[in-house]
Amino acid sequence: MNADRMETLRRKAEARLSSYVMSDGQLATLSVAEVSRLMHELHTHQIELTIQNEELIRTQAQLSTARDRYADLFDHAPVGYLTLTENLVVTEANTTSATLLGIDRADLVGHRLEDHVDPGSQDQFHLCRRKMVKTEAPQVCELTMKRGDTATFVARVEIQPAAPPDGRDLRVTLSDVTEHKRGEDELHRLHNLRSLGLLAGGIAHDFNNALTGVTANLSLLLGALPAEGESQGMATEALEAVTRASKLNPRQQTRRAVTDLFFGGHTTTQANIDSTGCPGRDPVFSERVGSESSI
């Protein structure tokens, strides 16, 4: 407690004491025992006041420490905290909010928060605020906010009415969710890629199986046709064309790579093409994989 404060308290005490001071005549009538009792009470009250003063000083120091600690927690919280007037002017802001917006806190306080909202998110910001005013309940929205003069970031913004006695003020919290949104977009892209891979793989397998069936039938046909003749030559050319087509089917390998990437392999079943009509011919097997996939 400073000297000026002590002097002020002393003057107040002396002014109040003047109404209780005994006159000389009253003091003269007191016995030694009564004077001794009064002195004892005076010393007792003095000690009580000293103890109370020490307790007040300790309490004040504890409150000051707690205030500083919570002020530090507020300033360096992982999210930005702001207090706005009903006209969206910033009256209080912690260090985190200024850091998120890429400006000094002194340049943030006294200015409208919407000045730091990207033009593409202005309507959403005001819609969120109007809904909060109408419902008197906290509202959350994701806005593109400006960081400095050129950069932007995606912010999760929560707006809620301030508790009394702040009246119509608003409490706002800001947090940077740019990386979270980027992760969501990447998961969505991978999901689409997986769907495309499944669809392409199914189509490729169906195409490959169709070629396998045609190859088998042409092989059977070649075995049944006369060795010499126009039909034998045409069937041979057709078989060669089908063989070339099967080699020009890169989707088969692409599908396998995509499927292995996402599923670590795929399940196949064998289909037996009956060749009992041509003795001596081995049966032909092909993979059957469903293509019931959609994007």
Q: How confident is the model at residue 223 (pLDDT cuts 50, 70, 90)?
A: confident
Tokens coding 231: 């039909």
- Using CA atoms, how far apart are residues 98 and 108, in angstroms rounded to an integer? 7
How crowded is the C-beta side of 161, counted as CA atoms within 13 Å?
13
| Packing angle of the helix pair 178-224, 251-263 (nearest 10 deg) | 140
Helix ranges restricted to H, the chain: 3-17, 24-28, 32-75, 95-101, 105-108, 122-135, 178-224, 230-247, 251-263
Lowest-confidence pick of 17-26, 36-45, 105-114, 239-248: 17-26
For the whole model, what pTM was predicted? 0.51
Q: How confident is the model at residue 290 (pLDDT cuts 50, 70, 90)?
A: very low
Q: Residue with structure tokens 């994007």?
A: 295
Q: What is the per-residue pLDDT across 241-261, written as a single tens digit (0 to 9) for each? A: 877 777 765 555 555 555 454
Q: What is the per-residue pLDDT across 126-157, written as a single tens digit (0 to 9) for each? A: 999 999 989 989 999 999 999 988 899 999 99
Count how many residues are written for the chain: 295
